[in-house]
Amino acid sequence: MALYRIAALYVKMEPRFKTLVSQSEAYLTNESRAPDIDLMIPPERIKAYNDVYPYLSEDDAEYIFYGGAFYSKLIPFGGFMLHSSALAYEGNAYLFSANSGVGKSTHTSMWQKAFGECVRIINDDKPAIRLIDGVPTVFGTPFSGKTDKNLNISVPLKAIACISRAEVPEISPMSPEKYVPFLLGQMIRPAAKADMLLGLLDGVLKKTPVYDLKCNISTDSAIVAYNTMKG
Amino acid sequence: MKIKEGYILREVAGTNVVVNTKEGANLGRMITLNASGAYIWKLLENDCTEEDIISSMLSDFDADADVIRRDVNAFIAKMREAGIIE
């Protein structure tokens, strides 16, 4: 049995296929203790999931199923997943959320182009957010969507942007009436834990500004975003 | 009539959000309510009639009775259509 340290929690799991095995490697711990989260999932459950989605390889089915299970089990530990590309810069984490295909990863790659190697991608698609001592904190996890861009680091959350495409980059504060439904639409929301999840989101949003970011594929978009989101 | 079991109203960043907490329910559909919607929702958490809601609003809100009646009627129709009240 292997023990992993993910989002400052001890996680027991035994991945079998290449993607999850390689992406989890950086999170392995030699410590020996009882896990906080038990992710020992019988192969037949993955197989049953794969039967529902036969176009997935066994490898992808395992990776996706484990990710969903982890983020669902994270909620009672005060954490949740926000579908976003998360970066760290100058000791702060910035999240860029949108539906698939809008350009979350493209935008964070523009930050790297604009500001250099000191911009690090914490998790390119599915970062974990937990309130640690009252501070919203972003964690890299092995579950980072289609790319392997994730780091086993944690960084205090500075700001969130909901992004859309536009000819000219522009950023403005977003109203809660707009961003609450938007962000809820970008989360894993198990019905039975919905009450808990809404409380967690409220706790994070009380301390985190949310912006409406219109961006194109240019470093200008990154600069416009940074100048406002840094506070 | 009242809210069906499993539906909850919570405030997130000052926004009133309604979700279904029943196991297996599709949380994809979320509803946000304005202040008067949330007011009616709270009354509907306990069994009440449309007339109960209207008279309660008439005493708590400084608005025209016809407007209140029309808005309550429309709200309840939408809630019924969404299958949220029984």
Phi and psi, residue A169, nearest 5°:
-65, 140
Chain B CB contacts of A191 under 8 Å are 19-27
Q: How far apart are the CA of B82 and the nearest CA of chain A, in angstroms?
A: 17
Give the SS3 label for residue A116.
Answer: coil
Task: Give the mean model confidence (pLDDT) for residues A164-191.
Answer: 93
Residues in B closer than 8 angstroms to A180, CB to CB, are 12-13, 15, 17, 32
CA dihedral sign, ordered A90, A93, A98, A99: positive
Q: Are A180 and A115 in contact (CB under 8 A)?
A: no
pLDDT tens-place string over residues A191-215: 888 899 999 999 999 999 999 999 9
ipTM of this complex:
0.87
Q: What is the mean pLDDT of residues A89-111?
A: 97
Q: Which B positions 46-85 lie with beta carbon below 8 A of chain A?
A: none
Res. B69: pLDDT tops 80: yes
**A94 pLDDT more than 80:** yes
Helix (H, G, I), strand (E, B) or coil at A220: helix
Residues of B within 8 A of A195 (CB-CB) are: 8, 10, 21
- pLDDT 10s digits, B1-34: 999 998 999 999 999 999 888 866 555 567 899 9
**Interface contact B22-A191, CB threshold 8 A:** yes
pLDDT in tens, A144-161: 999 999 999 999 999 999
- Name the residue among A208, A60, A30 with its Cα closest to residue A134: A208
Inform me whether the pLDDT recorded for A79 exceeds 80.
yes
What residues of B are in contact with residue A177 (Cβ under 8 Å)?
Answer: 15, 32
Q: Which two tokens stand for residue A105?
A: 């990863």
Find the angle CA(A159)-CA(A222)-CA(A8) to the nearest 5 degrees. 40
Across the interface, whether the CB atoms of A185 and B11 are under 8 A apart is answered no
pLDDT for A126 beyond 70: yes
pLDDT (average), residues A152-176 = 97
| CB-based burial, A142-158: b 16+ in 10 Å, e otherwise | bbbbeeebbbbebbebb
Helix axes A104-115, A219-229, angle to 10 degrees: 90
State residue A189's pLDDT score: 84
